[in-house]
Amino acid sequence: MYFIHDKEIYDPGLDLLTETYEVLDKKLEELCNKSVLSDDPDQFGYFDQIEYLLGFGLIGLQTYMTETASWAGLRKHETFLFGPKTPSGLSKLQILNAIANFWKHREEWAFEGGEKRKDAIDRLFEDVGYSTDFE
């Protein structure tokens, strides 16, 4: 939710997201520095820690996108019509949302019913030239 006062916009959700990203950035910088200095950063779990922090950041952004859409009287997927698009016509908001969903739900895909969501995210990733395969 945002407030307007004296022709200025105050958005406490964006302020909180910004503060959260500052904390994540400091920790990511620390982990990146450790991984560069390490003989085997994967063995020490630096890459896993970095992945988790990036995932949390994406979920924070996705939450902010959902809240902002709601305040505007829209569903989140309706906001995918706005903003910059890729050459294939996908909204960059749609891509960020899909990446957050990928990070949140990738472990569930092994269970019954997860294939439909996985297929949708796979198609979106492929459309912009990436894969969700880990192999």
Q: What is the pTM of this model?
A: 0.78
Residue 1 lies in a domain: no
Q: Quick one: pLDDT at residue 125?
A: 79
The segment with the largest mean pLDDT, out of 44-48, 73-77, 120-124, is 44-48
Asked whether the predicted pLDDT for residue 3 surpasses 70, the reply is no
Residue 134 lies in a domain: yes
Name, in order, each residue with C-beta under 8 angstroms of 20's C-beta and a sequence gap of 6 or more: 57, 60
Q: Are residues 38 and 66 in the same domain?
A: yes
Q: Which domain holds residue 30?
A: 8-74
Q: Are residues 42 and 15 in the same domain?
A: yes
Which of 49, 74, 99 marks a domain boundary?
Answer: 74
Q: Which residue has the higher pLDDT, 5 or 23?
A: 23
Residue 3 lies in a domain: no
Domain count, the chain: 2
DSSP string, the chain: --EEETTEEE-HHHHHHHHHHHHHHHHHHHHHHHHHH-S-TTTTTHHHHHHHHHHHHHHHHHHHHHHHHHHTT--GGGGGGSS-B-TTS-BHHHHHHHHHHHHHHGGGGGSTTHHHHHHHHHHHHHHTT------
Q: Quick one: pLDDT at residue 82?
A: 87
Per-residue pLDDT tens for 79-131? 888 888 888 888 889 989 988 988 888 887 777 667 777 787 788 778 777 77
Q: Are residues 17 and 54 in the same domain?
A: yes
Per-residue pLDDT tens for 7-39? 776 777 888 999 999 999 999 999 999 999 999
